[in-house]
Amino acid sequence: MKTLFLFLLLPLGVMAQYADKDPQVQALTFAPNNYDQVRNNNIYYSNWSTINPVKDNKVHTVTIYLGSKKGKRKEIDVKTFDDQGRIIQRKSKWETVTFSYTDSLLTETTSVKGKNQSATRYHYDEQDRMIGLERLKNGKLVMKYRFEYFEEFKRSLVEQTIYKQKATVYTLKTEYDALLKKPTSVVYLINGKPEKTWNYDCKEQGELVEKPTEEISSQCAFEQENNDGSYSKFVRSIENGKTYLLQRNYSADSLFLGFQRFFNDTVLIERQINTDTETVVEHFSEKGKPKTKYVYQVDVNGNRIGYESYNRRNKLVYFEKLTYNERNLITESKLGKKWQHTFEYTFY
């Protein structure tokens, strides 16, 4: 379960091989992937374990209602699943989305919203890896992605083309060491022109070989093992003239325990701590002052049962409480002080 915490909760800069706040770089870094079709199949939130409540309970439809203080309720969303636990339609007052599959792979989603219709079409290679997609609005191509792979699901190229008056092509190219199977550099290009490079050429203990510039950033990785078998993975990077150190912590049996991220190696700016029942994520300024804190709570089956958000003064500003039945199906959610949802099911 802790491994899934890493995937779901890590901040953007932590999950990437490098950190960059440019929204276009982020769009390439977190481009669509094979996991998208799994995420679509949730009733409400992702389950943080291997449990699949939809498939396990043969759910056909789930209707979500919004309650009011007067006891009235209004239907806001209906999700329909096939007998394999895959979503095939999501319908609300404003929009209807349909999902199409070939074998086990999501191949198209279509959205109808008033007079507008949009679609996304997915393409895969012989290894079932996503190699491209197109997005259309009212039949007109507005954007497409193209992907190439080094091995397995490690991408060597992510290319996004956006069609407006002129087409603009944004690209991330990753070079790998064929023997070590690790990236050696990443180049960000716009219309074929290099805009920025991340250099992974390192000495021992993560010392940076070259002095980075505004166009070239560096990142180095190294590991440290403790006497009890637990270990940490470190990444030292320089971005836009600033030095950061990321430390990911693992137990002796490789369960992800959390991370810390430091500015100038000493000032804590991000922290995540995982336990069996909750994950706490905290953010601090580069002067070490608190900014925000988020607490995610789960039950023994991996169901998300609570969420709390705090401001820099550690004051609670938002919360969620979720209730499940004995079949791990969500029955009620309370979102802050105003909103309450209830859920009704039909089954195959």
Residue 98 has pLDDT above 80, yes or no: yes
- C-alpha dist (Å) from residue 334 to 68, 296, 302, 339, 341: 12, 15, 18, 6, 7
Give the closest residue to 298 by CA, choosing from 320, 270, 327: 320
What is the rounded distance in angstroms from the CA atom of residue 242 to the CA atom of residue 265?
A: 10
Predicted pLDDT of residue 203: 54
What number of CA atoms fall less than 13 Å from residue 71's CA on the CB side?
Answer: 0
Residue 9 has pLDDT above 70, yes or no: no
Residue 68 has pLDDT above 80, yes or no: no
pTM listed for this prediction: 0.83
Q: What is the pLDDT of residues 293-341, one digit of tens each?
A: 999 999 999 899 999 999 999 999 999 999 999 999 999 999 998 899 9
Predicted pLDDT of residue 163: 97
Residue 161 has pLDDT above 60, yes or no: yes
Strands 182-190, 193-199: pairing is antiparallel
